A and B are shown apart, each in its own frame.
Chain A
Amino acid sequence: MSLHKFCVKIFAENASAVRLDAFIPIYHRWIQKQAVEGLLVDVADYGHLPQSPGVMLVAHEADYCMDSMEGPLGLLYNRKAPAGGRLSDRIAAAFRAALGACVKLENEPEFQGKLRFNAGGAVFIANDRLLAPNTEEAFQALRSDLSAAVAKVYPGNFELRRISSDPRSRLTVQVGSLEPVRDVSALLARLS
């Protein structure tokens, strides 16, 4: 599958302890310091909308959102630009970028250690209805590449479960570790 556009979302554990406003200065700082990978362009603020992409760090290759549109609050990495390599490698790279942002956010002084991400699972969204419509066939076609990537994050045991069969929605897969995982830093270390 030649899928290039997809998202990886890592959920926050204690969303109620976090104010969306706090992400605005953080993302601006990241742009100043070029703190995460990609050509960082701007910060978009949708904090006025409930269940939305929240506050978004827009980059040329991918966006980083504190998203509550795709389930509870979490860091959503939305890969937009085509990248080289096999699909499994591209997906693994997206996991690495998402986890890297999560680790950085956990260490930002604004949160004083209150922001923690759930290392036990993630969501993968294929953001291309032409190549990967929300069908069982497309899920099966994607499974091997997605499994190969996820195996790098959770080398022990994991499960992939398709969420929602609404044909209008994007193909969305719940990724869950079947073994305990310490934290997102540990996951990131596996991909580094």
Chain B
Amino acid sequence: MTPSWKDHLGDRVPADLAREIEIFENEIALRKQGKIDEKVFAETRLRRGAYGQRYDNGQRNDGLRTQTLAYPSADLTKGPSTLWDAPGMQRIKIPYGGLNPLQLEALAECAEEYSDGILHVTTRQDIQLHYVHIEETPSLFRRLAAVGITTREACGNTVRNVTGCPLAGVCRTETFDVTPYAKATAKFLLGHKDTQSFGRKFKIAFSGCAENACGLAMMHDVGAVAKVQDGKRGFEFFVGGGLGSVPNQAKLFDGFLPEQELLPMCQAISRVFARLGEKKNRNTARLKFLVNKLGLDEFRKLVLEERKALPDDPAWTAYLKNLKVTDEKPIKPAKALNGQAKPEGFDAWLKTNVYRQSQEGYAVATVTLPLGDFTARQARALADAARKYVGEPIRLTVEQNLLFRWVSEADLPALFGDLRAMGLGEPGAGTIVDITACPGTDTCKLGISSSRGLAGELRTRLASRMIAMDEAVRGLKIKVSGCFNSCGQHHVADLGFYGVSRKKGSWTVPHFQVLVGGQWDHNAGAYGLAVIAVPSKRIPEVVDRMTDAFLRERQKGETFQGWIKRIGKAKVRTMLEDLSGIPGHDENPSFFSDWRDPREYTTGDMGVGECAGEVVSPLDFGLAAAEREAFEAQLTLESGDLEKAGYQAFHSMFTAAKELVLTKKPVADFAPTVANEFRTLFYDTKLFWDPFAGGKFAQYFFHAMENPPSRPTAEAVHRLIEEAQLFIEAAHSCRLKL
């Protein structure tokens, strides 16, 4: 009999997880026999963290043509348009990013045997493995479960990984350690019956203090920020935040939610979300849409009514009796860094990668992971180093790094030496070189441009200049997403980029939208807006130009964000305008492929006519006008004229819609007529639909048309501008299909 991990691990896998995995294994077998519908199986696997990956529909453009990937299982699917044998991504939840060495070793083994040997840290403190075959996932799950890790509800319409400040418990500015609360919340809601029928995912974050960004509470469905009132612990409790295509700042649900109310309130919110949240249209199904639709007051009223009706559950407060359960004990005595021999490069690393803990004599050391990646071998070496210097405590960060906590300061030189030996001694954590990037076109089905390629390129270029770099520039944050969905958190960076594409004749050119005005501090306190789309290959020039101008023009003590606010987005756009041009294909073919991918960036089978590079259609001009109007709306918003800004944002959508209609038939310059024609010609025919977002972007236009804002708030106009930008991007995509 062939040995199996199930038999080998036996009762080392907790019974509840063992049962879960067994059920999934059976579901795999049933799907192979055609006894489970592909849609049902898709949600089933997603709820175990087993995601699709780029090209899993069996089609891949190789730069010359679209090739069919003829997998052995032929037409068998693991979801709509998702072939069974196509490699997938496995997301692994790591609540609040907390890991121990044993878990790190188990992850390393799984990366080697089921993936490509690489562990990737996400912007929500998960680990992702890529190129995993669906039939290997049960063994992978069992091996992780044996060390206390579950992948359950890592994806799908569930409570996703509960994130938390990675400095919790050792932070100098925290109100109190949020770790036990994050852990209890993750445990309480995992598999809870009230969290099983959401229309969309649900994300929770914990922060130890309001000022610093580590928890990013304001951009989550539920954000809890530690607070003490009258000597009692509780939370400033926010709801309805989120990034995604249209970001939303969370709203204050309760200025002080006592600690004993944390879990029942999460449960009550879950019930209201499950009951009233959108179920059919996934594009409006996040909690933020429900809060906006009902209004905060009505939402709060419903939740409080639900809370009152909840049957009492001892689990709500049981964990409060032992909040020290997550306390960490150092294995080395506290000892100051004083006179130890320092390896070369240590001082630079110390400056950027070491944080002095609130406990004297101890420090947190950040291991900078390039693009959030590390190898299985490095994972084992990190586990060894953890045992040697700190014992258990390791944390992953939302900036895609890894932390050692409780390092005796005297050990820092030795730890640095060990990290350098494993190729992980790079300085620059939290600086401009420590760029956050989602997987983008490397592996994500939604990726438009190569976020990792761009991030890698910027990292290489900036790292070579780090030593001579001005402090003000060194501290900036760059974040890159491969599309508008914001997995790279581009909205909360000093310089954010998200992938889009543009036409040049019959060629398609990878671009990035440049976002400025975002804020990382104050728990992601402000979201940036796009000012201009620039070809991918010119983004390094954007970074150079922006940072040079900042250094030249900033006033004493002025932050990058303050500088942007002072000079205004119009000047930023002017500064970058000449970089938005695309050279002819013959002049510079490199613009027509993406970073670190030599394939021609095309739809593959598109013919190239004579002088194609120089042809600009009326539609191109029209869409450019729409973009300009959306940008002007931003400027008007900045000036404080909300009504005018709202109108301009709406009108930019109208312009784009009208230009599309004009490609089919003449149309009067009258909004209701244009909207009707646009609906008939582009929405009903699905020509305007995004392959993944469906008709969402068109609905922005229809909604704005039917609900003209009266006395709009700045937040509402900000959102309308975001929607207008996405609508115009969708118009560009639609243009490719015409």
Could you tell me which residues of chain A, from 43 to 101, have a CB within 8 Å of some CB in chain B?
Answer: 43-53, 56, 58, 60, 63, 69, 80
- With both chains docked as a complex, state the minimum distance between the C-beta of A25 and any C-beta of chain B, in angstroms: 4
Given known contacts A31-B62, A39-B70, is B112 in contact with A127 (CB within 8 Å)?
yes
How far, in angstroms, from A21 to B596 measured CA to CA in the complex?
8
Interface residues of A in 102-132 (CB under 8 A from B): 127-131
Residues of A within 8 A of B54 (CB): 42
Selected contact of B375 from candidates A25, A49, A131, A169, CB within 8 Å: A49
Task: Assess whether A168 is in contact with B113, with CB atoms less than 8 Å apart.
Answer: no
Name the one of B69, B105, B117, B377 contacting A39, with C-beta atoms under 8 angstroms.
B69
The answer to whether B378 and A32 touch across the interface, beta carbons within 8 angstroms, is no
Q: Are B72 and A60 in contact (CB under 8 A)?
A: yes
Residue pair B596, A56 in contact (C-beta under 8 Å):
no
What is the interface size of chain B, counting residues whose CB is below 8 A from a CB of the partner? 52
A9 CB-CB contact with B under 8 Å: no
B-side residues, CB < 8 A to A, are 2-5, 8, 54-55, 60, 62-64, 67, 69-72, 85-87, 105, 108-109, 112-113, 116-118, 130-131, 133, 370-371, 373-378, 380, 422-423, 442-443, 452-453, 456, 459-460, 596-599
Cα of A63 to Cα of B113 in the assembled complex, Å: 12
Taking a contact as CB atoms under 8 Å apart, the answer to whether A46 and B118 are in contact is yes
B370's contact among A49, A129, A169, by CB below 8 Å, is which? A49
Is the CB–CB distance between B118 and A28 below 8 Å?
A: no
Cβ contact within 8 Å between B371 and A48: yes
Docked-complex contact A39 and B71, CB < 8 angstroms: yes
Contact partner, A28, options B4, B105, B598, Cβ 8 Å: B598
A51 → chain B, closest Cβ, in Å? Answer: 5
Contact B375 A56 (CB under 8 A): no
What are 26 A-to-B residue pairs whose CB atoms are below 8 Å?
A: A24-B597, A24-B598, A28-B598, A39-B71, A41-B60, A42-B54, A45-B456, A46-B118, A46-B373, A48-B371, A49-B118, A49-B370, A51-B422, A52-B117, A53-B117, A56-B116, A58-B87, A60-B71, A60-B72, A60-B87, A69-B117, A127-B113, A128-B113, A129-B113, A131-B3, A168-B108
Q: Are B442 and A53 in contact (CB under 8 A)?
A: no
- Choice from B72, B377, B452 contacting A69 with Cβ under 8 Å: B377
Please report the total number of A residues contacting B with Cβ < 8 Å.
Answer: 36
Give the residue name and chain of the B residue nearest to A50 (CB): B423
Chain A residues within CB distance 8 Å of chain B: 2, 5, 21, 24-25, 28, 31-32, 39, 41-53, 56, 58, 60, 63, 69, 80, 127-131, 168-170
Q: A48-B456, A69-B377, A129-B113 are in contact. Are A42 and B55 (CB under 8 A)?
A: yes
- What's the Cα separation between A46 and B442 when bound, in Å? 11
A51 contacts B117, C-beta separation under 8 Å: no
Asked whether, in the complex, the Cβ of B133 is within 8 Å of the Cβ of A80, the reply is: yes
B599 with A28: CB separation less than 8 A: yes
Asked if A32 and B3 make an inter-chain contact with CB atoms under 8 angstroms apart, the answer reads no
Q: Report whether B456 and A44 are in contact in the complex, using a CB–CB cutoff of 8 Å.
A: no
Residue in B closest to A70 when the chains form the complex, CB atoms: B377
Q: When the two chains form their complex, are residues B374 and A48 in contact, meaning their CB atoms are under 8 A apart?
A: no
**Closest chain A residue to B106, Cβ basis:** A168
B423/A49 in contact, CB under 8 A: yes
Given known A-B contacts A31-B62, A32-B62, A51-B377, A45 and B442 have beta carbons under 8 A apart: yes
A48 partner residues in chain B, CB cutoff 8 A: 370-371, 373, 456, 459-460
Contacts of B55 in A (CB 8 A): 41-42
Complex formed: what's the CA distance from A63 to B598 in Å?
20
Q: Which residues of B contact A31 (CB under 8 A)?
A: 60, 62, 67
B-side contacts of A42, CB under 8 Å: 54-55, 60
Q: Known: A49-B373, A49-B375. Is A60-B85 also a contact (CB below 8 A)?
A: yes
- Docked CA distance A24–B450 (Å): 14
Q: Which of A5, A31, A130 has the most chain B CB atoms inside 10 A of its CB?
A: A130
Q: How far is the CB of B476 from chain A (nearest CB, A)?
A: 20
Q: How far is the CA of A60 from the CA of B86 in the complex (A)?
A: 8
CB distance from A178 to the nearest CB of B (A): 29
